[in-house]
């Protein structure tokens, strides 16, 4: 029997180009592969990146006549909180995990979805340009000077949620790495993230490198976890697959017993 209270994973970042939708869709597919009953809600009805990726995946499965574990997915376009709640209530009757992708901009519904999260994932590229979303650093010392508006918002959201229903939102900053980045700057970003995480209580985990392979998979909807359907793989593909697995593990999402057993056997 499916629990009436699914686990909500919300991918949110008010900046675009951080790998948010890519991380979201790969997480959802990884869960589906582990026999988790998972649904994805794409709130970015203008871009529809996650929905398009999963549509491409379904089309590839039909065209090749193969089985590809694929989460259910819906695009929500009305912007109505009442309509969103109705959709979530409907999905909660069937699914164990609901993954929500939000637009890469300030959006009232995205804020509301973040407040519903059990796991809130904020992907960022490993640079001070993206770090500015969550905190500001001193130009000389690179020490954190102050929290950003977004960090303050999430901090208050987590506090309000804990007081309202006792739920502690697990805030995860997903550090998507740029492989060509200067090592000294990468170290400074890491130190600033560590300092800020102690102030506001998020976790930092490694994400995905900026690899062409993830973008090239979009037309087919395949992921690096789709063994046997990707053709010949190079060293970079194997490294990227390992990064993806480490990212999924780092999210520490609760898995039903059967899914945990499937993960152990994989």
pLDDT of residue 257: 65
Cα 221 versus chain centre, distance: 17
pTM higher than 0.85: yes
At 175, list the tokens. Answer: 């550090």
Compute the residue count for the chain. Answer: 266
Task: Please report, for residues 134, 153, 155, 174, the alpha-carbon distance to residue 147 in angstroms, rounded to integers and kept in the order given.
Answer: 6, 10, 10, 18
> Residue holding tokens 């637009």?
103
Cα 65 versus chain centre, distance: 29
pLDDT of residue 2: 44
Instruction: Report the distance separating Cα 167 and Cα 163, nearest Å.
Output: 8
What confidence category does residue 263 fall into, taking pLDDT thresholds of 50, 70 and 90? Answer: low
pLDDT (tens digit per residue) in 166-187: 989 999 999 987 555 567 788 8
Report the b/e string of 55-85 with b at 16+ CB within 10 A: ebbeebbeeeeeebbbbbbebbeeeeeeebe
What confidence category does residue 19 fall into, taking pLDDT thresholds of 50, 70 and 90? Answer: confident
Domains within the chain, CATH numbers bracketed: 9-253 (3.40.50.300)
């Amino acid at each position: 029997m499916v629990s009436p209270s699914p686990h909500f994973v919300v991918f949110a970042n008010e900046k675009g180009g951080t790998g948010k939708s890519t991380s979201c869709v790969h997480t959802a597919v990884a869960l589906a592969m582990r026999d988790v009953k998972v649904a994805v809600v794409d709130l970015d009805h203008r871009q529809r990146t996650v929905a398009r990726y999963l549509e491409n995946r379904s089309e590839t499965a039909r065209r090749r006549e193969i089985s590809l574990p694929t989460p259910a997915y819906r695009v929500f376009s009305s912007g109505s909180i009442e309509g969103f709640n109705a959709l979530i209530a409907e999905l909660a009757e069937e699914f164990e995990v609901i993954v929500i992708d939000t637009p890469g901009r300030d959006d009232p519904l995205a804020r509301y979805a973040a407040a519903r999260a059990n796991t809130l994932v904020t992907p960022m590229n490993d640079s001070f340009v993206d770090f500015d979303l969550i905190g500001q650093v001193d130009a000389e010392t690179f020490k954190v000077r102050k929290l950003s508006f977004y960090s303050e918002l999430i901090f208050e959201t987590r506090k309000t949620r804990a007081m309202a229903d006792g739920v502690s939102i697990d805030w995860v900053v997903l550090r998507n790495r740029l492989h060509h980045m200067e090592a000294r700057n990468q170290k400074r970003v890491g130190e600033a993230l560590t300092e800020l995480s102690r102030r506001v209580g998020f976790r930092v985990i490694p994400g995905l490198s900026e690899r062409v392979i993830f973008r090239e998979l979009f037309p087919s909807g395949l992921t690096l976890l789709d063994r046997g359907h990707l053709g010949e793989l190079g060293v970079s593909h194997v490294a990227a697959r390992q990064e993806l697995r480490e990212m999924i593990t780092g999210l520490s999402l609760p898995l039903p017993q059967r899914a945990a057993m499937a993960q152990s056997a994989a």
